[in-house]
C-alpha cells in the first residue's frame, strides 16, 4: 500500500494520475519543439499539485497526530498543510519565519491558514535558520506546545515526500524528453528525477536565489534512495529576485500565457517555470524534436494574480 492508498486520503478523491495537456505555442513549435503541461494543479480542488504528492505520505505517517511544519509568510506549503488539517480533522501548527510578523495584521496567505484551523507560531529569523538543529527544533516545539507532534520540514521536503514525488516521474514515463518543474526546497525535483525512465531528463527552475539547491536535492535523494538518482540539472537564472518576488514583466507573461492557452498561471512558481522554458527555447537549449513537459504545480492565489 502506498501513501496515496490510505483510505482517509483516498476518500478526498484525488485525480491521479493527473492529466497531461499538449499546448500549441508558436514559441516552441517554430523551433520544432512540443510543449506538454502536466496538470498537477487538477489533482484536488484544495490539496493541489506537488503539495498533494508531498503531504500525503507525511499525513499517513502522522497517524492522526497533530502536525507541525514551517514556512514563510507567503508559504504555499503552510496553506496546503492547513487545508489538509481541515479536510482530515487534524490539528496543525505552522512555525512562521519572522517574529516581527506576530504583531501585524495577517496577510491573505496566513489568514487563510488560520481560517483553516492552523495555529501560527512566529519565531525570529535566526532561530528559523537553525530549525533543523535538534536542540533548536526541540526548543521551538516546546514553545509551540507541540512536543508530541509529527514534524514536516519546510516545503514538505523529506524522504517520504521525495518518494511520493517519484510517482510524478513514473506517471509521465516516456511522454517527454525533458520534464521541468519550479523548485523551492527541491523535494519535487528529487522525486521526479528518480521516477523518470532512463534517457529522460529533469530540469529544476529555482524560485529562490542563492544557488544552494544542487546540494539540497542531492541530500534529499541520498536520504530517500541512498544516492543521487536520475538525470537532472538546475538553471538558477529565473528567480525574479527571490521567493515571493515578481515583476511586471512576469505578470504580463503569465496573463499572456493564460490568454493563449486558457491555463491559470500561478505567479510564484509556475510563471517563473514557463518563462524559463520560453527563454531556454529561444536560446536553442533544446534540440529540434524535443518534447518538453512543464509540471503545473499550483493555481493562482488571490493576492498573487
Task: Identify the pLDDT of residue 302.
Answer: 60
Q: Per-block average pLDDT, block size 10, for the chain (305 residues)?
A: 59 91 98 98 85 91 93 91 93 96 94 97 97 96 96 93 96 98 96 98 94 95 98 97 92 98 96 98 98 95 52
Cα dihedral across residues 133, 154, 123, 115: positive or negative? negative
Residue 27, H or E segment: helix 26-29
Reading the block at residue 108, the C-alpha cell is 491573505
The DSSP code sequence of 132-186 is: TSHHHHHHHHHHHT-TTSEE--GGG-SHHHHHHHHHHHHHHTTS-SEEEEEESSS
Q: Express each pLDDT in 134-192 by its tens digit.
A: 999 999 999 999 999 999 999 899 999 999 999 999 999 999 999 999 999 999 999 99
- List C-alpha distances in Å: 144 to 84, 98, 123: 20, 15, 10
- Backbone φ and ψ of 280, nearest 5°: -65, -40
Residue 149, number of CB atoms within 10 A of its CB: 18
- List C-alpha distances in Å: 19 to 120, 172, 291: 35, 10, 16
pTM of the model as a whole: 0.90
Q: Please state, in angstroms and rounded to a whole number, the distance separating the CA atoms of residues 263 and 260.
A: 8
> Comparing C-alpha atoms, which of 258, 220, 268 is closest to residue 79?
268
Amino acid at each position: 500500500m502506498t501513501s496515496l492508498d490510505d483510505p482517509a486520503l483516498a476518500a478526498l478523491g484525488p485525480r491521479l494520475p493527473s492529466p497531461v495537456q499538449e499546448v500549441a505555442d508558436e514559441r516552441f513549435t517554430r523551433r520544432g519543439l512540443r510543449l506538454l503541461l502536466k496538470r498537477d494543479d487538477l489533482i484536488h480542488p484544495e490539496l493541489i499539485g506537488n503539495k498533494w504528492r508531498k503531504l500525503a505520505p507525511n499525513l499517513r505517517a502522522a497517524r492522526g497526530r497533530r502536525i507541525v511544519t514551517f514556512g514563510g509568510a507567503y508559504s504555499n506549503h503552510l496553506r496546503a498543510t492547513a487545508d489538509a488539517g481541515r479536510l482530515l480533522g487534524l490539528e496543525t501548527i505552522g512555525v512562521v519565519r519572522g517574529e516581527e510578523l506576530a504583531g501585524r495584521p495577517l496577510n491573505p496567505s496566513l489568514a487563510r491558514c488560520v481560517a483553516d484551523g492552523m495555529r501560527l507560531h512566529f519565531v525570529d529569523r535566526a532561530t528559523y535558520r537553525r530549525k533543523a538543529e535538534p536542540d533548536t527544533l526541540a526548543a521551538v516545539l516546546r514553545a509551540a506546545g507541540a512536543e508530541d507532534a509529527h514534524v514536516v520540514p519546510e516545503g514538505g521536503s523529506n524522504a517520504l515526500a521525495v518518494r511520493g514525488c517519484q510517482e510524478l516521474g513514473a506517471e509521465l514515463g516516456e511522454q517527454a524528453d525533458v520534464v521541468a518543474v519550479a523548485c523551492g526546497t527541491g523535494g519535487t525535483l528529487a522525486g521526479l528525477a528518480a521516477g523518470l525512465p532512463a534517457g529522460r531528463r529533469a530540469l529544476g527552475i529555482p524560485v529562490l536565489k542563492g544557488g544552494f539547491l544542487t546540494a539540497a536535492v542531492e541530500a534529499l535523494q541520498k536520504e530517500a534512495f541512498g544516492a543521487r538518482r536520475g538525470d537532472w540539472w538546475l538553471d538558477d537564472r529565473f528567480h525574479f529576485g527571490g521567493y515571493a518576488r515578481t515583476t511586471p514583466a512576469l505578470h504580463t507573461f503569465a496573463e499572456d500565457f493564460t490568454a493563449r492557452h486558457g491555463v491559470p498561471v500561478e505567479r510564484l512558481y509556475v510563471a517563473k517555470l514557463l518563462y524559463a522554458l520560453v527563454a531556454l527555447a529561444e536560446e536553442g537549449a533544446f534540440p529540434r524534436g524535443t518534447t518538453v513537459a512543464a509540471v503545473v504545480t499550483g493555481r493562482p492565489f488571490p493576492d498573487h494574480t
